[in-house]
Amino acid sequence: MIIQQLETAEELTAKKRLKRQKKKQRKKEKKNKLNANGEEHKKEQLSDDDGDSGNEEDAAK
């Protein structure tokens, strides 16, 4: 009986740990996605602020 309770407690602990790890991973992915979007947005703003078309290849020609 005690052994069974210990096994159940270990399973619950493992499940909780997995849940926390998944939550951390999702949070990390969301943060990275937001950072990537933010960087793209900043690049767009910089190209618009320059006054040119934002296309560096055309400017080189």
Tokens 């934002």 label which residue? 54
Name the amino acid, one letter, at 34.
Answer: L
Distance CA 15, CA 19 (A): 6
pTM for this structure? 0.50
Distance CA 47, CA 60 (A): 15
Say yes or no to pLDDT of 27 above 50.
yes
Distance CA 49, CA 41 (A): 12
What average pLDDT does this structure show over 30-56?
A: 67
Domain ranges of the chain: 16-42
Distance CA 36, CA 32 (A): 6
Which pair of structure tokens corresponds to residue 58? 């055309």
pLDDT tier at 34, thresholds 50, 70, 90: confident
Residue 4: per-residue pLDDT: 84
pLDDT, tens only, 6-17: 889 999 999 999
